[in-house]
Amino acid sequence: MSFSIEGKTAIVTGAANGIGLAIARHFAENGANVVFADMDDKRLKTELGEVEEDGNIHFFAGDLRERLTAANLLSATIDAFDRVDILVNASRQILPTDVLSADDNSLWTLLEQNLLTSFRISQIVAKRMLKQAEDDGHDQCNGSIVNLSSIASQRAQPGLLGYSVSTAALDQLTRSLAVELADKNIRVNSVAFGSLMSASLQSTLKDHPEYRTEIEKRTPLGWIASANELVEAAQFLASDASRFMTGQTLVLDGGRTLVDAVKAAAH
């Protein structure tokens, strides 16, 4: 088994910042052809700079919640690299939810962003993977879809109803798609992580520095992960090293859910 992704083509959504950007860069540095996809055109250009036309990096800007935009993303990928082998659904959003407000639409917004967008892109990419196998004269294709989830899917926290529900639904989507696509040799897995030093968390910690100590105390390993600490897990799930693994959610949280589980059992 090999951890190599060299020569494979990957689409990474949410690739203008945070974990999506880190994964896309890591894949490109390890020899994959990578399409960085995000709606933030300006940020993509800032992060990637001048992209060589015949290089292994391309970027695509557009709102992937729109069906046509998602289809255009696949077309742009095929135009650039002729195929797609890996999809990483890293585009996600976090919003607070006021459960008593009739005007609060956060649940619908997060279901659209975190669940339905990943489902639509997975659909069209899986169809392309199957077509590639047929064109190559193979009975089975060899594709990998990796979803980015959260430990919020496994627990309820005040103010995060919409985020928790949408990520829990994403975990079920991972399992259900894995079963649907298993006989076609398209694997679907996810990575659920705890507190990540994202731009939004950095902003929060500027206003509330005491939160950092609280998070670190609740994490047995004692630190907040950077985006770079998660990229190897994504490569593992995208590579042949995990070829007998599907429908699984790999938890990377520094042991935080273990502590929460122990506390819950104690009560």
pLDDT at residue 261 greater than cutoff 80: no
Pick 259 or 9 by higher pLDDT.
9
Q: What's the whole-model pTM score?
A: 0.92
Residues 229-246: tens digit of each pLDDT: 889 999 999 999 999 999
Contact at 8 Å (CB) between 8 and 85?
yes
Residues 163-175: tens digit of each pLDDT: 999 999 999 999 9
CA-closest candidate to residue 186, choices 237, 116, 249, 113: 237
pLDDT at residue 14 greater than cutoff 80: yes
Q: What is the CATH number of the domain that holds 187?
A: 3.40.50.720
pLDDT at residue 68 greater than cutoff 90: yes
Residue-wise burial string across 235-263, b where 16 or more C-beta atoms lie within 10 A, e elsewhere: bbbbbbebeeebbbbbbbbbebeeebeee
Residues 71-91: tens digit of each pLDDT: 999 999 999 999 999 999 999
With respect to residue 212, please indicate whether it lies within any of the assigned structural domains. no
With respect to residue 87, please indicate whether it lies within any of the assigned structural domains. yes
pLDDT for 267 equals 46
- Average confidence score pLDDT of the chain: 91
Active site residue 163: yes
With respect to residue 128, please indicate whether it lies within any of the assigned structural domains. yes
With respect to residue 49, please indicate whether it lies within any of the assigned structural domains. yes
What is the domain extent for residue 92? Answer: 9-196+227-255
pLDDT at residue 111 greater than cutoff 60: yes
With respect to residue 220, please indicate whether it lies within any of the assigned structural domains. no
pLDDT at residue 157 greater than cutoff 90: no
With respect to residue 102, please indicate whether it lies within any of the assigned structural domains. yes
Question: What is the C-alpha separation between 103 and 34, in angstroms, rounded?
Answer: 40
Contact at 8 Å (CB) between 109 and 165?
no
With respect to residue 209, please indicate whether it lies within any of the assigned structural domains. no
pLDDT for 165 equals 95
What number of CA atoms fall less than 13 Å from residue 224's CA on the CB side? 14
Q: Among the options 81, 163, 193, 236, which is catalytic?
A: 163
